[in-house]
Amino acid sequence: MEDSRREFLKKAGVGSLIGLGVVSAVNVVTEKKGEASSRSSNKSGTRWGMVIDMSKCPADCKICSEKCHSVHNVPEFRKPDGSADLKNEVKWLWKDNYNNVFPSKSGQFLSNNLKQKEFLVLCNHCENPPCVRVCPTQATFSRPDGIVLMDFHRCIGCRFCMAACPYGSRSFNWFDPRTEDEKHLVGGKNIDPNFPTRERGVVEKCNFCAERLAKNQIPACVEACTFGALTFGNLNDPDSEIRAVLAANNTIQRKPELGTGPSVFYIV
Amino acid sequence: MIEKALVGSQKYYAWLTILIVVILVGLYAFSQQLISGLGVTGMSRDVSWGVYIAQLTFLVGVAASAVMVVLPYYLHNYKQFAKIVILGEFLAVSAVSMCLMFVLVDLGKPERMLNLFLHPTPNSILFWDALVLSVYLGLNIFCGWVVLQAEAKSVAPPKWIKPFIYLSIPWAVSIHTVTAFLYAGLPGRHYWLTAVLAPRFLASAFAAGPALLILLSLLLKKVAKFDVGDEAIKKLTTIVTYAILANFFLVLMEVFTAFYSNIPGHMHVFQYLFVGLHGKSALVPWMWTSIILGVFALVIFIFPKLKQQQNILAIGCIALFISLWIDKGICLIIGGFVPNPLEHVTEYAVTGYEILITLAIYAIGTLMLTVLYKTALGIKKSVA
């Protein structure tokens, strides 16, 4: 059963490419010859990516992350006094300061704009994901379309992937995310039946809305953003909207020096 | 053979009872952890490994250090180690067993543990670590038991055991190297991302392990009237001395590289451990205790007049063992997670459940060691 479920997830990924009609042309010509590149694994197929335009992202807006956490049944653990329980926190999409999101970038004399902004943080769906490399059971794996997924039914909860992820994108279910009690509350959320809840003891993270892509829908956060700050698309398709955005703007990735090849780009 | 462990003095039974009580208390704590989840530990999103994995790391070193008696005895025919070699092998058995238990209690889904072998993943170092640890456990039980059995029958050990003993020598090095690779290959964890991590692990292991073996030998002399011989203790003392020096040397290499290069990411964990970072300093007292005890031990081990007196030597061994336990069994793993990848400083505070479970696993290891030593000494005494 488990294998067939994995196969389904993988095929759903391939199927979604065709469904969206974004079968990209084989594109080797545009790559400059002799360019030193360690990340050139999947030029011909699809590689999903995202551009976050921080000039369009308002400072205290949380629409996208709230939408994400609600459609994916991300639990909210609270302390007895009702405040957020940061120790047992689970999060897929959230905001943090420029200096924290880009610690290896210059932090001196930041513009007022950058000081005020909070940057969106999510799984980078790396081309060379360290989390996949270290997982001892292949519970976390890369799909052919570049999405890094979790098999919640195979994960043994060793948390090696959390130690390996250089972006802090992974969360662990320290307590049962399904039960509600006074101490650690899920937050009285309405469970969305379109996405499975998790069990205690497994790791989870942003899945680039693989379940929505399979239904020809764009990710929930992109759909929810009313400011047009998020662009999602096929990085390998030179005619895609996301490539046009990347060609027209200066963008940066998080910690590119680690060779992970993040698929999330930022317009600062 | 094992029947030798079933009869003993009242003190022996009292000792076993104490261990079993500690184990039962720990089992209760473990059942609570199973019921509520790993949330009952101090681990968090940011410090996602705690004392369990830190103990694994430390004990792999203790296990690997058996090679420091096996190698001289079997490869160089160093006869003075004749009595101590079985103590080293059985210490390895107990230590590796504890390692595997620490992995088990750290899993969020222990019932899925076999997925490690049902879905073998050669690119994962954890897969290799579980594999080499299991094989090392088997090798040491097997070699120790076969040689002991021969001794019980007053015959020479069978020749076919030799290849297994020789295999256990590089295997001991491999278990600690692979364990270091768990950490040393992770991008973005600066404290671990260093080529000297595996050599440093081996150096500290070859200091802490033989120091424990000296202590156990001195203890057995007192409580069981079993003397491994002064020459064996002396030789182990020399091994420990060089290993401490090698370990200090490698630690200083790390400090130099981090601070002379002045790269913030490389300095952060050292700052957190030695002076605190962003006002958070939970591990600072531990780290300094480790340094002070380590230097104190080094003085004892360097001056021949000090280490020749077995009482002072014992104090030196205790100081050294605690120093290296703090360094590897607390600071190295927990400190490595601070600051987190987003450069926030989140601290880890161990909980009562973790302490009880950790103590219980140490008690299981000690119980195994007691029974194995009792058997070995019983045979050695009945033959003599």
Q: Are B356 and B29 in contact (CB under 8 A)?
A: yes
Q: Are A51 and A231 in contact (CB under 8 A)?
A: yes
Give the number of other Cβ atoms within 10 Å of residue B155's Cβ: 9
Q: How far is residue B89's CA from residue B83's CA, in Å, rounded to a whole number?
A: 11
Contact flag A157-B126 (C-beta cutoff 8 Å): no
Which backbone phi and psi does A126 adopt, to 5 degrees? -60, 150
User: Is A2-24+45-267 a CATH 3.30.70.20 domain?
Assistant: yes
Residues of chain A under the 70 pLDDT cut? 1-44, 180-189
Answer whether A40 touches B (CB < 8 Å): no
Query: Which chain A residues are Cβ-neighbours of B125 within 8 angstroms?
Result: 134
The per-residue pLDDT for B5 is 81
Q: How far is residue A241's CA from residue A92's CA, in Å, rounded to a whole number?
A: 25
Element (H, E) at B320: helix B310-326
A217-239 residue pLDDT tens: 999 999 999 999 999 999 999 99
Contact flag A158-B112 (C-beta cutoff 8 Å): no
**Predicted confidence band of residue B380 (pLDDT cuts 50, 70, 90):** confident
C-alpha distances (whole Å) from B174 to each of B133, B171, B177, B223 are 9, 5, 5, 34
pTM reported for the whole predicted model? 0.90
Contact flag B343-A100 (C-beta cutoff 8 Å): yes
Answer whether A156 touches B (CB < 8 Å): yes
Specify which residues A50 forms β-bridges with: A232, A264
The per-residue pLDDT for A43 is 53
For the record, the structure tokens of A131 come out as 């989390």
Q: How far is residue A193's CA from residue A210's CA, in Å, rounded to a whole number?
A: 16
Spatial neighbors of B295 by CB under 8 A, at least 6 apart, are none
Q: How far is residue B60's CA from residue B132's CA, in Å, rounded to a whole number?
A: 11
ipTM for the complex shown: 0.92
Q: Are A256 and A266 in contact (CB under 8 A)?
A: no
The per-residue pLDDT for A173 is 95
Q: How far is residue B61's CA from residue B332's CA, in Å, rounded to a whole number?
A: 13
Q: What rounded mean pLDDT belongs to chain B?
A: 94
The per-residue pLDDT for B3 is 81
Residue B249 scores a pLDDT above 70? yes
Q: Where are the domains of chain A?
A: 2-24+45-267
Q: For the residues B42-46, what does the mean pLDDT come to? A: 96
Q: For the residues B285-314, what does the mean pLDDT come to? A: 94
Residue B159 scores a pLDDT above 60? yes
B336-366 residue pLDDT tens: 999 999 999 999 999 999 999 999 999 999 9
Hey, of A77, A100, A142, A158, which one would you mutate to test binding to chain B, going by the most B CBs within 10 A of its CB? A158
The per-residue pLDDT for A37 is 41
In chain B, pLDDT over 70 holds for what percent of residues? Answer: 100
B171-201 residue pLDDT tens: 999 999 999 999 999 998 999 999 999 999 9
Most confident of A182-186, B5-9, B154-158, B360-364: B360-364
Hey, of A137, A154, A175, A205, which one would you mutate to test binding to chain B, going by the most B CBs within 10 A of its CB? A137
The SS3 call for residue B336 is helix
Answer whether A139 touches B (CB < 8 Å): yes
The per-residue pLDDT for B384 is 67
The per-residue pLDDT for A31 is 39
* Distance of residue A216 Cα from the nearest chain B Cα, in angstroms: 32
B98-133 residue pLDDT tens: 999 999 999 999 999 999 999 999 999 999 999 999
Q: Are A92 and A74 in contact (CB under 8 A)?
A: yes
Contact flag B107-A164 (C-beta cutoff 8 Å): no
- What is the dihedral angle through the alpha carbons of A83, A87, A91, A95, rounded to the nearest 10 degrees? 70
Q: For the residues B52-74, what does the mean pLDDT come to? A: 94
Q: How far is residue B384's CA from residue B375's CA, in Å, rounded to a whole number?
A: 14
CA B303 centroid distance within chain: 26
CA B78 centroid distance within chain: 25
In chain B, pLDDT over 90 holds for what percent of residues? Answer: 90
B217-246 residue pLDDT tens: 999 999 988 999 999 999 999 999 999 999
Answer whether B107 touches A (CB < 8 Å): yes
